[in-house]
Amino acid sequence: MIRLLLDRIVTMAITLWVVFTITFFLVRFTPGGPFMEEKPIPDAIRRTIEAKFHMHDPLWKQYSRHLWNTACLDFGPSYKMEDYTVNEIIAEGFPVSASLGIFAMVFAIILGVTSGVVSAVRRYSAYDYGFMTVAILGIAVPNFVLGSLAIILFVFILGWFPAAGWGTLQQIILPAICLGLPFAGYIARLTRTGMLEVLNQDYIRTAYAKGLAPVNVIMKHALRGALLPVVSYLGPATAGILSGSLVLERIFVLPGMGSHFLEGAFQRDYVLVMGMVMVYTALVFVMNSLVDLSYAIIDPRIGSR
């Protein structure tokens, strides 16, 4: 276990460095700049601002300075948001994005696992066809389309939820459902496939032969093995929820990291974009590592190999 953790730490450091390098040169070579406004500013003021942020230094020097600061977890001041550092922006936006992601993931897991188990147990029934049809629709329709339709239906027509804002549970429910529904469809299909495979195993037939109640067989014996494909998917699903929240946070006007990331990209705020990308990369890598470590807990046979 210690060796695995050390390997993960080294791999994470290399991955973050590669992502940092690619992102740094991409944003630097993108046309435009953080101080190119529609209304031109005097050249003297522009030179003063650029000197303050060391933008006249050679590119390799900017790269090495930014790499060292990032390694020290200091992303520097924002180019466009006055009196704000990137660390402060992330500290304000991360709780919002994390709360939205947690609610969306919990919703996706509960709905997806429940639908998949029912579909597998009642195979070829109306429940099976109904749940799988909804799952396919959830996968096929992008979450920003779901968000737009949900606002029209539940906000303007039914009036059940507010259209935007943050701070109350009622304001979280609608964007969390729109964000988690596509992933619930994937989880439902994976759970159904895994459950169908496990239900044909000998130990399941033995459990039924011993007279165990069907609920106990499904929940205590079959479900544990059927969840392995779902656990594998949780790492990529986390990445999808993080990237999907970029658009939904704009649609529902949520002050999360996604909104700040898009604003930084539109305004060419290099350091803000770099900080957001590094945080997203680290979160996804950590989630994938936790998924790998959880295999041994769910199925001890994997940990003994």
Q: Decide if 104 is inside a domain.
A: yes
Rounded Cα distance, 202 and 104, in Å: 36
Report DSSP state, residue 256. S
In a domain, 14, yes or no: no
Place of tokens 């701070």: 167
Q: What pLDDT is attached to residue 300? A: 53
Q: Which residue has the tokens 């609610």?
A: 103
Tokens 């922006």 identify what position?
89
Which CATH number covers residue 98?
Answer: 1.10.3720.10
Is 178 domain-assigned?
Answer: yes
Q: Is residue 227 part of a domain?
A: yes
C-alpha to C-alpha distances, 167 to 103, 222, 257, 262, nearest whole angstrom: 14, 40, 15, 21
Q: What's the CA gap between 302 and 192, in Å, rounded?
A: 22
Query: Is 238 part of a structural domain of the chain?
Result: yes
Residue 24 contacts residue 63 (beta carbons within 8 Å): yes
Q: Quote the pLDDT of residue 304.
A: 46
The alpha carbon dihedral of 8, 10, 16, 18 has a sign of negative
Within-domain flag for 51: no
Number of domains in the chain: 1
User: 20 lies in a domain?
Assistant: no
pLDDT tens for the chain, residues 1 to 305: 677 677 778 888 888 899 889 888 887 777 666 555 555 555 655 566 566 666 667 778 888 888 888 888 888 777 777 777 888 888 888 888 888 888 888 888 898 888 888 888 888 888 888 888 888 888 888 877 888 888 888 888 888 888 777 777 888 888 888 888 888 888 888 888 888 888 877 777 787 787 777 777 777 777 777 777 787 787 777 777 776 677 788 888 888 887 788 777 777 777 888 888 888 888 877 777 776 666 656 555 554 44
Q: Is 119 exposed, middle or buried (0-12, 13-18, 19+ CB in 10 A)?
A: buried
Whether 149 maps to a domain, the answer reads: yes
Residue 131 belongs to domain spanning: 86-270
Phi, psi of 56 (to 5 degrees): -90, -10
**Residue 80: per-residue pLDDT:** 72
